[in-house]
Amino acid sequence: MAKKHRGHVAIVGAGVFGAWTAHHLQQEGHKVTLVDAWGPAHSRASSGGESRLTRAAYGKDEIYTRMAMDSLPQWKALSAVSGLPIFIRAGILFFFPTEEPYVRDSIAAHKKFGLPTDVLTQAEMARRFPMIDFDGIRVGLYEPGFGALMARRAVLTLVDRFTKAGGKYTKGFVQPPSTSGTELHEIELSSGENIQADRFVFAAGPWLPKLFPQVIGPRILPTRQEVFFFAPPAGDRRFAPGAMPGWADFNGGDIFYGFPDLESRGAKFAHDAHGIEVDPDAQSRRPTEAALAEIVAYRDRRFPLLKGAPLTEARVCQYENSSNGDFLIDLHPDWPNVLLLGGGSGHGFKHGPEVGRYAAARLMGSAKPEPRFSLASKAEAHHREVH
C-alpha cells in the first residue's frame, strides 16, 4: 500500500526522542534528515551512557504506564535485530518503607492494563533478592516483564537502521533559528550550510533552551547527575541479570536506583535527586568525591555484599527537567511547521518509541494535542516544585 504522507522533515538532535521520531516519520514515507552536533547518543547527551530502566510503575500517571507498555514491544523488536541485546529482561523491583498511594495507584493501573506485577512483603523480597538488605522496607512492586535498555547501543542501532533504509544523517551544529516569518523554511549550520525542509523537529535535549531561549527558557532546566559502577565479587552470580533486578529504593521520596552487572561493566548506582543547575556545554564531566561518598554509604547499607567493591566506572550526565516533570511535545507558538520535543526529566528514555510515534503524528496533524505535553502546561507549572 502506498504511503499517504510525503514531504521533507529535518530533525535536530539524534538522541532517543529524535531518532525514534525519525524512524516513525520514515515509516510513513517521509524524507527525513537527522542532524546532531556530536553524533547519536554522544558522551554528553542525555541518551548516552550504558543503561536505562524500563518499567511501567508510575502511580496515578497512567499516561506513562501506557507509553511504557506500548514502547516495550518496539524496544524488543529493535533488540532482536541489533546483534547484541538492547533490551535485557532483568525484572524491575521498586521498594518502599510504607504502602503509600504511589504503590496502590501503580497496582491499580497494572490491573487495569493487565500487566503482571508481584506485590511483595519484606520477607518475600529478602528471600528472592538476597543481595539487597530490606531493613525498614515494607512493600515491593516487582515487574517481571521489564528490565534494562542499553542506551547508547539502542540509539546507534536505530540511527544505523534509519540511514540504511534511506534516511540522511549529518553531523552539524545548528544555529538558533531566526524569529521572523510565519513558518520556518531552513536551518543554518555553523559550517554555513543550510538545510531546507517542509517541517522541523527540534529534539535537542538540554540544548533546547539555547535554541529557543524566548519560547522555552527556564521551562527546561538541565541538572547535573552522577552515576557509579562497582565490580561485584569475583565469580559471584548474585549480581547478574536474572538474579538481581533493576531496582529503585523509594525512601520517603528520596530515590536511589540501579542495575545489576550488565555486560560485566559493574553494578550501577545513582541518586535520583536533581543535582545543581548546569550548562550542558560548560559543566565539568569529572565525578565528585562527595557524590561518590554518598553512593558508597548508601551501597554499603543497602547492598552489604558490595562493601569495599572497587569502583569500575563513573560518569556525569544530566537530566533535562521540565518545570512539571512531563515531556514537552508541542508545536512552536509562532511556527506551525515546527515541533519542540524534549523535557525527558530523567524518565524519558524508556518511552522513546511512543514519544517518537506521537511526535511524528503531532507534527503531521494526525494526533490530538496532549495537554500535559504542552508549552502552556510548562508555563503554568514554572513556579511549582518539580516532581
Instruction: Tell me the pLDDT of the chain averaged across its residues.
Output: 95
**Is the pLDDT score of 317 beyond 70?**
yes
Confidence of residue 1 (pLDDT cuts 50, 70, 90): very low
Looking at residue 310, its amino acid is P
**Is the pLDDT score of 380 beyond 70?**
no
Phi-psi region of 108 (alpha: psi -120 to 50; beta: other; left: phi over 0): alpha
Helical H segments across the chain, by residue range: 16-27, 62-80, 101-113, 122-128, 151-164, 208-211, 289-302, 352-364, 375-380
Q: pLDDT, tens digit, for every residue of 77-108?
A: 999 999 999 999 999 999 999 999 999 999 99
Phi-psi region of 217 (alpha: psi -120 to 50; beta: other; left: phi over 0): left
Q: Please, which contacts does 299-306 make with residues 24 or more away whose CB atoms are closer than 8 Å? A: 299/230, 299/269, 301/133, 302/132, 302/133, 302/249, 302/256, 303/131, 303/132, 303/133, 303/267, 304/133, 305/131, 305/232, 305/233, 305/236, 305/238, 306/131, 306/230, 306/232, 306/239, 306/267
Helical H segments across 200-262, by residue range: 208-211
Q: How large is the average pLDDT for residues 299-327?
A: 97
Whether the CB-CB separation of 40 and 64 falls below 8 Å is answered with: no
Per-residue confidence (pLDDT) for residue 24, from 0 to 100: 98
Q: pLDDT, tens digit, for every residue of 129-148?
A: 999 999 999 999 999 999 99
Per-residue confidence (pLDDT) for residue 379, from 0 to 100: 79
Confidence of residue 377 (pLDDT cuts 50, 70, 90): very high
For cell 532482536, what's the residue?
A: 80
**Is the pLDDT score of 300 beyond 60?**
yes
Confidence of residue 383 (pLDDT cuts 50, 70, 90): very low
The pTM (predicted TM-score) of the whole model is: 0.96
Q: How large is the average pLDDT for residues 199-208?
A: 97
CATH number of 8-380: 3.30.9.10
Choice between 283 and 1, residue whose per-residue pLDDT is larger:
283
Whether the CB-CB separation of 189 and 173 falls below 8 Å is answered with: yes
Per-residue confidence (pLDDT) for residue 181, from 0 to 100: 87
> For 130, phi and psi rounded to 5 degrees?
-70, -10
**Is the pLDDT score of 382 beyond 50?**
no
**Percentage of the chain surpassing pLDDT 70?**
97
Angle at 345 between CA 324 and CA 155, to 5 degrees: 145
Q: How many CB atoms lie within 10 A of CB 77?
A: 13
Per-residue confidence (pLDDT) for residue 178, from 0 to 100: 86
Whether the CB-CB separation of 54 and 354 falls below 8 Å is answered with: no
Per-residue confidence (pLDDT) for residue 34, from 0 to 100: 98
Per-residue confidence (pLDDT) for residue 129, from 0 to 100: 98
Q: How large is the average pLDDT for residues 49-69?
A: 97
Per-residue confidence (pLDDT) for residue 384, from 0 to 100: 36
Listed by start position, the domains of the chain span 8-380
Q: How large is the average pLDDT for residues 183-208?
A: 97
Per-residue confidence (pLDDT) for residue 381, from 0 to 100: 52
Whether the CB-CB separation of 205 and 223 falls below 8 Å is answered with: no
Write down how long the chain is: 387
Confidence of residue 3 (pLDDT cuts 50, 70, 90): very low
Choice between 380 and 12, residue whose per-residue pLDDT is larger:
12
CA distances from 216 to 61, 68, 122, 262, 367 (A): 24, 26, 44, 37, 22
Which of helix, strand or coil describes residue 66? helix
Looking at residue 322, its amino acid is S
